[in-house]
């Protein structure tokens, strides 16, 4: 256990699975009180129990971000759990809809992706960033994607939502930076989450991309978490509005 976030509280949305779990564990290992949030209470309890067993502190705030009322309730619960002083917001929760040809997208899926991937971060940030700004400090880290940087077949909906996240980061950096709140994005490339590693279809899609990366490999969730922690920490005090790719070099060579 180290102490970069000792005495601070971090809300990590979508932290009952995938990359979010790694982020929650990493914050806890650095001394933060982590607010674990997701739809599945059973998985959330396992995450918080695991953090406690490792000597960390975590509180489960169950939330289904497909409804505006739930997002507002999550913001209120997070501020209560933080004693009114939330220090870090990680907008990680997202509905992954890729690959998915545009012609196959149903209206309900489009609405759900726009709600979870764009509207929920906007509402949460709008509710929680002003409190950070009033105190003169805070960090918001959004999870973008390389899909939000380039055009990819079968990725129209997901790429649109992640491109919006990248744009929101720049706008929020301009809006909240002067008040001491830093806003940045981590943009993962192929990452071996349990969902990807356990899906033959997903692996078949990822393998050709890996062959084009300078690193020739996918990231591990813990590597994404390390980047999130860096941008949220005092080590990044003068970094505002940036998108940090953790993508094996994809963003450096994609136009080569």
* Residues carrying an active site annotation: 158
Q: Which of 67, 13, 66 is nearest to 37 (CA)?
A: 13
2 phi/psi in degrees, rounded to 5: -115, -175
Centre a 10 Å sphere on the Cβ of residue 45 and count the other Cβ atoms it contains: 14
Helix/strand/coil for 69 = helix
Q: What span, in angstroms and rounded, lies between the C-alpha atoms of 92 and 23?
A: 9
Residue 218 gets which letter from DSSP?
Answer: P
Whether 97 contacts 157, CB under 8 Å: yes
Asked whether the bond before 154 is cis by omega within 30 degrees of 0, the reply is no
Measured CA to CA in angstroms, residue 135 lies from 13, 72, 85, 190 at distances of 22, 21, 8, 37
Do 33 and 9 form a contact (C-beta atoms < 8 A)?
yes
């Amino acid at each position: 256990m180290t102490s970069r976030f000792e005495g601070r509280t971090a809300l990590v949305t979508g932290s009952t699975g995938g990359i979010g779990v790694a982020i929650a564990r990493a914050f806890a290992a650095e001394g933060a009180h982590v607010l674990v949030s997701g739809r599945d209470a059973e998985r959330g309890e396992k995450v918080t129990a695991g953090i406690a067993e490792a000597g960390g502190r975590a509180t489960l705030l169950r939330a289904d971000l497909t409804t505006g009322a739930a997002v507002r309730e999550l913001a209120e619960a997070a501020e209560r759990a933080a004693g009114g002083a939330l220090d870090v917001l990680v907008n990680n929760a997202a509905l992954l809809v890729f690959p998915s040809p545009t012609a196959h997208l149903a209206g309900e899926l489009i609405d759900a992706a726009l709600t979870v991937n764009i509207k929920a971060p906007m509402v949460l940030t709008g509710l929680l960033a002003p409190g950070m700004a009033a105190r003169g400090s805070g960090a918001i880290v959004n999870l973008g994607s390389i899909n939000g940087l380039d055009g990819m077949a079968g990725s129209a909906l997901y790429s649109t939502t992640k491109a919006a996240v990248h744009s929101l980061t720049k706008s929020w950096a301009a809006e909240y930076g002067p008040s001491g709140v830093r806003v940045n994005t981590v943009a993962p490339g192929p990452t071996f989450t349990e969902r990807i590693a356990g899906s033959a279809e997903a692996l078949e899609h990822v393998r050709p991309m890996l062959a084009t990366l300078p690193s020739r490999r996918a990231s591990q969730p813990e590597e994404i978490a390390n980047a999130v922690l860096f941008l949220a920490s005092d080590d990044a005090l003068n970094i505002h509005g940036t998108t940090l790719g953790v993508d094996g070099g994809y963003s450096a060579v994609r136009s080569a």
